[in-house]
Amino acid sequence: MPSPAGITEVLNPADLARLNGLELLASRVVDGLLSGKHRSQLKGGSAEFTEHRGYVPGDEVRLIDWKVFGKSDRYVIKQYIEQTCLQVIVVVDASGSMAFGLGTESKFHYARSLAACLTRLVLRQSDSAGLAVLENGACNYVPPRANPNHFQAILQRLLDGKPSGETSLAAHLTELARRIKRRGLIVLLSDCFDDLPALKQAMQFLRAKGHEIILLQTMAPEELTFDFGGWSRFDCLEVDGTHLNLDPGLVRKDYLENVRIFLADLKRICGETGCDYQALPTNQPMGDALAYYLQRRGSRLKQT
Amino acid sequence: MSFLNAAFLAGLPLVAIPLLIHLLSRRQQKRIAWGAMRFLKEAAARRRRLWRLTDLLLLLLRTAAFLLFIGALARPLLSASWLGDSVPREIVVVIDQSMSMSRKVGGTSLFDLQREKAHALLGNLKSRESVRILLAGDSPEWLTPEAVQVTPAAVRKLNEQLDKLQPTLGASDLLACVRDAADLEASKEISSRLIVIFSDRQRAGWQMDERPLWNAIQARMKRGAVPCTVSIEFLTETEPDTDNLCVNRIESPRPFASINQALNLTAQVQNHGSHSSGATLLTWQAAGQPLGITTIPELAPGASTSLSISHQFSAPGLFDITCRIEARDALPADNEAHLLVEVYKQLPVLLVEESNTAGPLEKDSAFVLAALGARKTDGVKTDWRSVFEATVIEPGALAATDLRRYRCVILANVRRVEAIDKLEAYVRAGGGLWIALGANTDTAFFNEQIYRGGLGLSPLKLTAPIGDPNDRERFFAIRTSLEPHPATALLSDFQRLDLDRARVYRRHQFDNLSGKDVSAFLQVQQGDPVVIERNLERGRVLVQSIPLGVSWSSLPLCQAYVAMLHEWLWYLAEPALPKRNLAVGESILSSRGAGETAELTLPDQRTVQLEPAIVSGTAEWRYAGTRLPGEYQLQIVGKVSTQFSVLRNISESDLANFSTQDLEQLHSTDGFRIGLDALAVTGKALPPRYPIEGWLLTALALVLLGELLLAGWTTNRRNLRLAPVSMSA
């Protein structure tokens, strides 16, 4: 069970407070039988009334709407959409690149806080939350549960995460897709410094399986400005021993162009695969950024 | 490469500064743990070549800037051979104009052969070479005052000048030519000097036996501004004929004569050849008129003989006495010799005597006048048989007398002379002074005014007289000095003259310790001087311790007296008389009361304009460039021309060729090449060296400009204002 210090390390109460009243909604109907915030494709049960239809022998008598019989002297039954439990898997990229942070907290810490907030939110709205931490080529998986006490396990896993090594997002997402039986919501917290075509393929695979994907991309402000001066040695955080000695000023233009192209490609892939994309640079207050996103998402979903 | 300021090369280690800064900046690089390596790798891969090249170029430019700056401060000199330049030489062509070059070999004179070779050499010179021409004579003379850059027009002009040259009667000091050529200043463009001498194989002129001279010449060649090589090219394959009978010179007791006075002329004839010469004739002429013929006997190799003839001149004037050997030999030019004799009708002499001397026979002047052959005619006019016409005055009139009219002044037994300064000035200007002491002589005055501590007219001072003029039993015998002297040569002939019979009863004594190296004409048998000589600038003084009369001696009664008087008057008058027969290098001097520009014609027919200088109120024309033997004609405007003769150097008549030892010595002398084609001699040539600091500074400016531009471009690129990437864009 994580210590109180550990909890506050990961979960800022101010950020949590910021998320009060917000909910993480799935845009698609979900599977599941438990009562939650999300619609199930399965009709019947004590779910929300949708329509009447004529009684046919074999229907349950309890479903007969007697008010309508009293008015119309016809036997009709009520049909309902049942509200089931949303399964949310938060995938946190703990590759070496996520360890970067100069002027702000590291991307991993940022993503970790995001993950904590999101899972807390999901559990609070009686949905089930799970976690996958992709670390050093391995996937540390916490199966989704709707039990509020499950948050401890998720927190512990987040605390144990140490970003290092290389991790293939695409491979892990594909693996996750095979593991998860129920359709649900995959929230990917990563800088996505990965092979984009492979990532696209993985995302398409997940979408084909009926999952919804939210990509919350974190990047450090230094990675977006590359405002370094003087001859420097850049040590790779993912591969030990890899470094580059260069004058940042001389490569800055090309570097920024590369980043620009990468982000554009990523957004295009998200658009093509129907994934929801949100950029969360680490210099933005996490709570505000997440709250803003959830509000916007909720508004958008309610309109459809 | 050499450097003018090599000390600055000590700063070369500073060239490493840019490299050190480059390395240190690398070591001080920041380390950044970076996540987005993939984007950086792509960017670095794309730009690596460019920024590595830029980096390296900046390092090279900065290093080059230091190197060029230090190099420019050190002021390097780059050899022309590095720049692909050829080695320009200066060629000094020595043209031997000596008499021996007039010999003919196979119908062509050696001088013409030399000229042909000089033409060919000039034609083969390269355009980057320069040439000078030096005329070899008794002293070298440059035909070209400055070095001439070889161009077709310049070569043509030099050839024209060479065509005008002819051999002279002079000798050639070829070693002096080598010395002068080696001592030349060198322009920056030339790297070596080649001295070309065309030799007729004659040994004379090379001073082969003077080893110290050769060593000195070699030292000068080594010290020269540029490396020097001497190329001696022989004009003929075989040794030319060396048989040569020569008239070395014509001599006479003096080159002056008086009318109807016999002058003895002696020709010295020598066989300079290596074979005996047969008997032949020597013909004499005076001013083109035959004087006589004498016979030259057979002479062994090297032997000489003197042949004399006597002649009386019947008219005054300047006479060119020539004698010629009537024989053919290898060198006809020296078969003839000349002597200019100036014949005078009269030469005025001033005799100063006190008139209070008793009795005409007791007057010294009487004896002098008698010796000079003065005799009165018509009781008034005086005829002179001697060329010396004496005017007698009293000492008091001396101050007012213009002494320039007289060739000689005789002070005969004068007590005091007030015009001592005037006399001294007269002597210094070339006049002759004969002080004959006697009973009237004031010893104290003499010592104080005439001796004047050795700075005056007398070289010795007087002490007390010795002897008794009345005691005729006791006397001093006199003789000429044991040192031969031209003024006493005749007096020494005791067979013809009776000087040994002269008796001196009383004489003044000279203090021998009051002067050094005094020339004595006459001495008593014991050696004390009786007549002493002093040369004072151009003039001469004789001081005689006995009077010219018979009061103290019997000298005037001797036959020798007349000869003595004439010989010594000639001797005293000679400095003021024009010197017509000169040695090579001796100045021509002509004086007249007044005059304008004169024109002097040299033996090679060149003319020189001479401006007169006024010396003591007299116009003088002087010419010192008598390097050519032969006849010089001086024409003063409005006057009759006058003649001078510069005598030959007799060593040039020795036609002996280089011996085997001589040739070995020449071959072994450093810097000398014998017998090769002159232009094929390369010698030790130093290619010219050019200072290149100007180029280095220009390169430095370009390097700094390049560094500035490249560094600026790099900084500009480094500090580009680029908008950060927006994740939400």
Domain extents in chain B: 2-82+691-718, 89-240+657-686, 245-344, 347-576, 581-646
Class of domain B89-240+657-686: alpha beta
- Both A125 and A52 in one domain: the answer is no
Distances in whole angstroms, Cα of residue B728 to Cα of each of A94, A102, A165: 23, 21, 28
Higher pLDDT, B349 or B500: B349
Contacts 24+ apart (CB under 8 A), B606-609: none
Contact B726 A224 (CB under 8 A): yes
- Both A69 and A115 in one domain: the answer is no
Class of domain B245-344: mainly beta
Interface test with B, best of A255, A260, A262, A268 (most B CBs within 10 A): A255
- Both A92 and A74 in one domain: the answer is no
Give B438's contacts (C-beta < 8 A, 6+ positions apart). B364, B412, B413, B546, B547, B548, B549, B551, B552
Where do runs of H (alpha helix) occur along chain A?
4-10, 13-18, 66-72, 107-124, 150-160, 169-179, 196-208, 221-225, 248-273, 286-303
A236, A252, A281 ranked by CB distance to B34: nearest: A236
Q: Quick one: pLDDT at residue A62?
A: 81
Tokens matching residue A42: 């399965």
CA angle B144, B146, B152 (to 5 degrees): 70
- Using the predicted structure, report yes or no on whether residue A38 has a pLDDT greater than 60: no
- Both A77 and A22 in one domain: the answer is no
The B2-3 sheet, strands edge to edge: B2-3, B76-79, B689-691
Class of domain B581-646: mainly beta
> A216: pLDDT confidence band, cut at 50, 70 and 90?
very high
Chain B touched by A63 (CB under 8 Å): no
- Both A74 and A91 in one domain: the answer is no
Q: Are strands B539-544 and B432-436 parallel, antiparallel or unpaired?
A: parallel
Strand stretches in B187-303, DSSP E: 192-199, 228-234, 245-251, 256-258, 262-271, 280-286, 289-296
- Chain B residues whose beta carbon lies within 8 Å of the beta carbon of residue A224: 724-727
Minimum CA–CA partner of A279 in chain B: B727
- Both A198 and A253 in one domain: the answer is yes
Report residue B21 CA to chain centroid gap: 70
Minimum CA–CA partner of B714 in chain A: A250
Chain B touched by A288 (CB under 8 Å): no
Contact B725 A259 (CB under 8 A): yes
Q: Quick one: pLDDT at residue B212?
A: 92
- Both A52 and A113 in one domain: the answer is no
Contact by Cβ (8 Å): B673, B195: no
Distance CA B155, CA B134 (A): 15
Chain B touched by A238 (CB under 8 Å): yes
- Both A113 and A76 in one domain: the answer is no
- Using the predicted structure, report yes or no on whether residue A1 has a pLDDT greater than 80: no
A96, A191, A249 ranked by CB distance to B719: nearest: A249
Contact A191 B725 (CB under 8 A): no
Please provide the distance, in angstroms rounded to a whole number, between the alpha carbons at the two ends of chain B: 66
DSSP characters over B557-618: GSHHHHHHHHHHHHHHHGGGS---EE-TTPPEEEEESS---EEEE-TTS-EEEE--EEETTE
- Both A45 and A116 in one domain: the answer is no
- Both A19 and A96 in one domain: the answer is yes
Give residue-wise pLDDT tens across range B389-426. Answer: 999 999 999 999 999 889 999 999 999 888 899 999 99
Per CATH, B89-240+657-686 and B347-576 having the same topology is answered yes
Distance CA B296, CA B546 (A): 46
Contact by Cβ (8 Å): B95, B133: yes
Give residue-wise pLDDT tens across range B180-217. Answer: 999 888 777 778 899 999 999 899 889 999 999 999 98
Q: What is the mean pLDDT of residues B255-269?
A: 90
Please provide the distance, in angstroms rounded to a whole number, between the alpha carbons at the two ends of chain A: 41
Mapped onto helix, strand or coil, the DSSP state of residue A229 is: coil
- Using the predicted structure, report yes or no on whether residue A228 has a pLDDT greater than 70: yes
Give residue-wise pLDDT tens across range A8-33. Answer: 677 777 776 666 666 676 655 444 33
The dotted CATH code for B347-576 is 3.40.50.880
- Both A58 and A207 in one domain: the answer is no
Contact B717 A235 (CB under 8 A): no
- A60: containing domain: 38-84
- Using the predicted structure, report yes or no on whether residue B506 has a pLDDT greater than 90: yes
Tokens matching residue B722: 């680029």
Contact by Cβ (8 Å): A112, A158: yes
Q: Quick one: pLDDT at residue A32?
A: 39
- Chain B residues whose beta carbon lies within 8 Å of the beta carbon of residue A280: 727
> B481: pLDDT confidence band, cut at 50, 70 and 90?
confident
> A255: pLDDT confidence band, cut at 50, 70 and 90?
very high
Distance CA B131, CA B139 (A): 20
- Both A68 and A175 in one domain: the answer is no
Structural domain tally of chain A? 2
Residues B27-41 as b/e (b if ≥16 CB within 10 A, e otherwise) read eeeeebebbbbbbbb
- Chain A residues whose beta carbon lies within 8 Å of the beta carbon of residue B39: 255, 258-259, 262
